[in-house]
Amino acid sequence: MSVVARRMARHHLTAPGASAAEVVRAMCGAHAQIGSAAELSVGLRLAGATRQTVRDALWVDRTLVKTRGPRGTVHLLPAEDLPMWLGALEHLPVALDLLTPAQTDQVVAAIADALADAELTAAELTDEVVARTGPWAGERVMEAFQDKWPRWMQAMHVAANRGALCFAPNKGRKTAYTSPARWVPGVRPDPDGGVWLLEHYLRSYGPARPEHFARWLAAPKRWVDGLFARADVEECAGGFVVRGDLEFPAEPPRGVWLLPYFDAFAVGCHPRSELFPGRAAERALNGGQAGNFPVVLVDGVVAGVWHQRRSGRRIAVTVETFAELSARQRRELEDQVERVGAVVEGRAELVLGPVTVGPHA
């Protein structure tokens, strides 16, 4: 359990961080496909924070940037670290069957030009990209649920990885995009980004093996093996750490924590069998994938699932545990529920019982 205690401490679960950027850096990014879940992930790791604290860090102070991160999914990243992230992400392969390499380069250049000083919705950006490339970019050939999207949109992932695009504040209910240079002027991918990201990951999730990092980042094995060969790492406790980073807490973790959808700790820690033992593997994983259920951590392992339902300011937090909690753990759970309410700016009430919603509800 010393490995778990180390990871929890470094993720600011056992001691709060000083700022939203510090917390997100420690998490190696906060998954933000569900914006409210990202706000809760970060807010729970900051003393006295609310969701507005996270929003201000993103849109007002711009110490965070919303863009693509690990596994190609939407993440909050520290703006200061963006050159390193881009230096790593630009090397990851992206399968584009609707665009040639030359067309991809044209689209990325068009996106960068259109967003340099603008905040555009997807429809507005489509007009700008087509004007700079040609009608072919606007052909609606990309499968998208029950619709089809313009061809150029297949390159959005690549554009984000190359530093041409990130998210802007929504325009009403519509997603908007802009240039990350508005967060980090003159931002360029750093050539040492891959090694930096690996070592950063190992400080937060280590000891870990190459296959763990590859799965977390969705990166090719050969590329990951090359990073491990170049990085200053050493093997210990069944995995690798940054050389000399051998500090492990003497005491195991004690306490109860509520982690929201796709919290970085639940998604990134391996091996799965140790974090999701027994019943947790059946109830809190979805086909072996972590993050689809908000989880209850008890003494460092997943010991339940939970769900919140909001009605005005009232938030019903239903918690299903896999074993009976002690009196101390029940009090800690009540404290966590209260903290969830504070972060999301509501009045949370604990309901003990089965969680009946499915994954990613």
Q: What is the pLDDT of residue 361?
A: 62
With CA atoms as reference, report the closest residue to 290 among 325, 265, 310. Answer: 265
200 shares a domain with 167: no
17 within some domain: no
Residue 133: inside a domain:
yes
Does residue 77 sit within a domain? no
Looking at the structure, do residues 164 and 197 belong to the same domain, yes or no? Answer: no
Answer whether residue 317 is part of any domain: yes
Query: Are 113 and 198 in the same domain?
Result: no
In a domain, 108, yes or no: yes
Mean pLDDT in residue range 214-227: 96
Whether 269 contacts 275, CB under 8 Å = yes
Confidence category of residue 238, pLDDT binned at 50, 70, 90? confident
Is 279 within the bounds of a domain? yes
Shared-domain flag, residues 261 and 303? yes
Do 211 and 146 share a domain, yes or no? no
Residue pair 341/47 in contact (Cβ under 8 Å)? The answer is no
| Span 318-323, average pLDDT | 97
Q: Work out the burial of residue 349: count CB atoms within 10 Å of its CB; fewer than 13 is exposed, 13-18 middle, 19 or more buried.
A: middle
Residue 7: predicted pLDDT: 97
Q: Is the pLDDT of residue 117 over 90?
A: yes
- Dihedral of the alpha carbons of 230, 231, 232, 234, in degrees to the nearest 10: -100
Could you report the per-residue pLDDT of 75-94, keeping only the tens digit for each?
A: 999 999 999 999 999 999 88
For residues 178 and 199, state if they share a domain: no
Q: Is the pLDDT of residue 360 over 80?
A: no
Question: Among 151, 79, 165, which Cα is nearest to 119's?
Answer: 165
| 215 part of a folded domain | yes
From 330, 317, 322, select the one nearest 357 (Cα to Cα). 317
Is residue 101 located within the same domain as residue 174?
yes
Same domain (yes/no): 156, 207: no
Q: Which amino acid is at 18?
A: A
Domain end position, chosen among 154, 172, 188: 188
Residues 182 and 99 in one domain: yes
Q: Are 242 and 213 in contact (CB under 8 A)?
A: no
According to DSSP, the residues that pair with 190 across neighbouring strands are: none
Which has the higher per-residue pLDDT, 247 or 358? 247
Cα distance between residue 208 and residue 159, in whole Å: 30
Q: What percent of the chain has pLDDT over 70?
A: 100
The 10s digit of each residue's pLDDT in 262-296 is 999 999 999 999 999 999 999 999 888 899 999 99
Domain extent for 173? 93-188
Question: Do you know the residue count of the chain?
Answer: 361
Q: Quote the pTM value.
A: 0.95
pLDDT in tens, 57-66: 999 999 999 9
Least confident of 118-122, 287-291, 344-348: 287-291
Q: Could you tell me if 118 and 152 lie in one domain?
A: yes
Question: What is the rounded CA–CA span in Å between residue 289 and residue 262?
Answer: 10
Between the alpha carbon of residue 84 and those of residues 14, 42, 110, 346, the distances in Å are 27, 21, 23, 37
Mean pLDDT of the chain: 96
Report, as an integer, the average pLDDT of 161-185. Answer: 97
Is residue 268 classed exposed, middle or buried when 0-12, 13-18 and 19+ CB atoms within 10 A define those classes? Answer: buried
Q: What is the spatial distance between Cα 178 and Cα 169, in angstroms, rounded to a whole number? A: 9
